Amino acid sequence: MLRIAVPNKGSLSGPAAEMLHEAGYQQRRESKELRIVDPENEVEFFYLRPRDIAIYVSSGRLDIGITGRDLLIDSGANAEEILPLGFARSTFRFATKPGTARSVEDLTGMTVATSYEGIVAKHLADKGIDASVVHLDGAVETAIELGVAEVIADVVETGTSLRNAGLEVIGEPIMKSEAIVVRRTGADAGEPKVQQFLRRLQGVLVARTYVMMDYDCRVEQLEKAVALTPGLESPTVSPLHNEGWVAVRAMVPAKEAQRIMDDLYAIGARAILTTAIHACRL
C-alpha cells in the first residue's frame, strides 16, 4: 500500500484534497480525520502539518508527500521535489517599513522576523549579511509594528497583507514556491505504484490546462489550421462526407483557446467547438 502525506490545514490542504479527488482517490470526509485508507487504489493517506511533511517523507516511513517548495527547503529534510503541482503559488520576500532599507545589503545588523528561519538564515549567509533571525509562527507582518524586528521575510502572493501592514518589499524574491510532490532523496522514483500516482496527478494537471478543440476546414486550409492547433503529438484529421472538407481534433492550451478559435475562424474553419477534458493519461 502506497503511504502518502497530505497537508491537513492551511493554503495547501483544500487544493491538495481537490486534486487527489480529481485523480480518483478517496479523501477524508471530516477535517479532523488524520488518516484514511483507500483500499480500491491501495493507498493510505496521512493528514499532517504541511511543515512536517518533508520530514516524515525523509524518514522513509511515508512514500510520498504533498507540501510547498518553500516548506521543503526550509525544513532541510532529506527529500526532493519530483512533481510541481501548480497551486499555492507564492514568492518569498523581505519586506520592511518604507525608509528602513533599500537593498538586502542594508539588512546588516538588523533583526528579521520569519516563520521560515531555514530559508532566511541560509540566504543571509550566502550573501554574507550578518543579521539576526527571530522565529515567529505566523502573522509576521505585525512584528515590525510591535517592535520585535525591523524586517520580515514572508510568503507574498497578492501583496495585500504587506500593503495592509504598510510594508514594502526589498530586493528580488528569495524564492518562488508552489505545491509540489516530494519523495525521499535517492528513493526509487521508478517504483510502479509511485509512477501510477504521479501519472494520475499529471493527468489532472493536463486536464486542467488543456481543452479539446474540434473544427471543420477546407482541405486547402488544413496546413494553416494545423499550424494553429498542432496538438500534443499531432492532430487527428478525418474526412467529411462533403468532399474538400476535413474534421480536425487537437488538444490546445485552455488559456489560448479563444484566440485560436478566432484565428481558425479567420482562415475559414467552421463548427469550432471546445470541450473540457475530465481526465487523461498522456
Binding site for ligand PRP (CB under 6 A): 138-139, 141, 154-161
Compute the least distance from the CB of residue 9 to ligand ATP, in Å. Answer: 5
Cα–Cα distance between 131 and 6 in angstroms, integer?
Answer: 35
Question: Under a CB-based contact definition with an 8 Å cutoff, are residues 274 and 257 in contact?
Answer: yes
Residues 98-157 that bind ligand ATP (CB under 6 A): 138, 155, 157
70 scored as a contact of ligand ATP (CB under 6 A)? yes
CB burial readout 230-253, b (16+ within 10 A) else e: ebeeebeeeeeeeeebbebbbbbe
Compute the least distance from the CB of residue 165 to ligand PRP, in Å. Answer: 9
Q: With respect to Mg ion, which residue has the nearer C-beta, 138 or 230?
A: 138
Q: With respect to ligand ATP, which residue has the nearer C-beta, 91 or 202?
A: 91
Beta carbons within 10 angstroms of residue 4's beta carbon: 22
User: What does each C-alpha distance from 263 to 101, 224, 229, 251 come to in angstroms?
Assistant: 49, 10, 10, 16
| CA–CA–CA angle 39, 44, 49 (5° rounding) | 150
- Contact partner at residue 9 from ligand PRP, Mg ion, ligand ATP, none, CB < 5 to 8 Å by partner kind: ligand ATP
- Percent of the chain as helix, strand, coil, to the nearest 5: 35, 35, 35
Q: Which three cell numbers stand for residue 43?
A: 493507498
23 scored as a contact of ligand ATP (CB under 6 A)? no
Compute the least distance from the CB of residue 136 to ligand ATP, in Å. Answer: 11
Compute the least distance from the CB of residue 156 to ligand PRP, in Å. Answer: 4
Binding residue for ligand ATP, selected from 2, 11, 27, 171, defined by CB under 6 A: 11
177 scored as a contact of ligand ATP (CB under 6 A)? yes
Question: Under a CB-based contact definition with an 8 Å cutoff, are residues 136 and 159 in contact?
Answer: no
12 scored as a contact of ligand ATP (CB under 6 A)? yes
Q: With respect to ligand ATP, which residue has the nearer C-beta, 52 or 214?
A: 52
Q: Which three cell numbers stand for residue 233?
A: 503529438
* Contacts to Mg ion by CB under 5 A: 138
* Contacts to ligand ATP by CB under 6 A: 9-12, 50-51, 68, 70-71, 88, 90, 138, 155, 157, 177
